[in-house]
Amino acid sequence: MSEINMGEVERLFSSAPFIRELGLELVAVTQGECRSRLVLAERHLQQDGFVHAGVQGAMADHTAGAAAASLVPPGQRILGAEYKINLLRAARGEALLCTARVIKAGRTLVVAEAEIRCRAGEDEKLVAKAMVTLAVVGEAV
């Protein structure tokens, strides 16, 4: 786990149809850490005009997966085992920013946490926090 597996991180953002559809963009990646951004549009909202909790869960899970993927050796992949997310405030604004960070990198399990901030004008608030458990699997899942 000594070099950043940039190929795998980029594949997660470029080859996942749901992520392209959602509009989730990779911002930066370092070893065990990943940042992503989502420019908000009407299609991300729930029935009362707030960002849907499912959008936030997807963003947290995927960004955490990328933080984990940055650590796996070539030939190995990351598969989500479970995640949990607290929605701290109703989110409304121009963009969501997510930072995910690996807090334990095991041989078979990786745990990452992810924070989502919502930018509305000059304001930026923490709107959600997640913990994500990921399994490290071989090539042929």
Among 77, 99, 100, 114, binds a copy of itself (CB under 8 A): 77
Q: Which stretch binds a copy of itself (CB under 8 A): 30-38, 39-47, 93-101, 116-124?
A: 39-47
The smaller minimum CB distance to a copy of itself, of residues 48 and 123, is found at 48
Taking residue 47's Cβ as centre, other Cβ atoms within 10 Å add up to 6
Nearest partner of 70 among 112, 38, 21, judged by Cα:
112
The smaller minimum CB distance to a copy of itself, of residues 20 and 30, is found at 20
Among positions 43-62, residues that touch a copy of itself (CB under 8 A) are 43-48, 50, 52-55, 57-59, 61-62
DSSP string, 3-66: S--HHHHHHHHHS-HHHHHHT-EEEEEETTEEEEEEE--GGGB-TTSSBPHHHHHHHHHHHHHH
Separation of alpha carbons 65 and 139, rounded Å:
16
Backbone angles phi, psi at 105, to 5 degrees: -110, 95
Q: Which stretch binds a copy of itself (CB under 8 A): 30-38, 93-101, 104-112, 116-124?
A: 104-112
Rounded to a whole number of angstroms, the minimum distance from the CB of residue 138 to a copy of itself is: 12
Q: Which residues of this chain interact with a copy of itself, rule CB under 8 A?
A: 11-12, 15-19, 21-22, 42-48, 50, 52-55, 57-59, 61-62, 77, 79-90, 103-104, 108-109, 111, 113, 126, 129, 131, 133, 135, 141
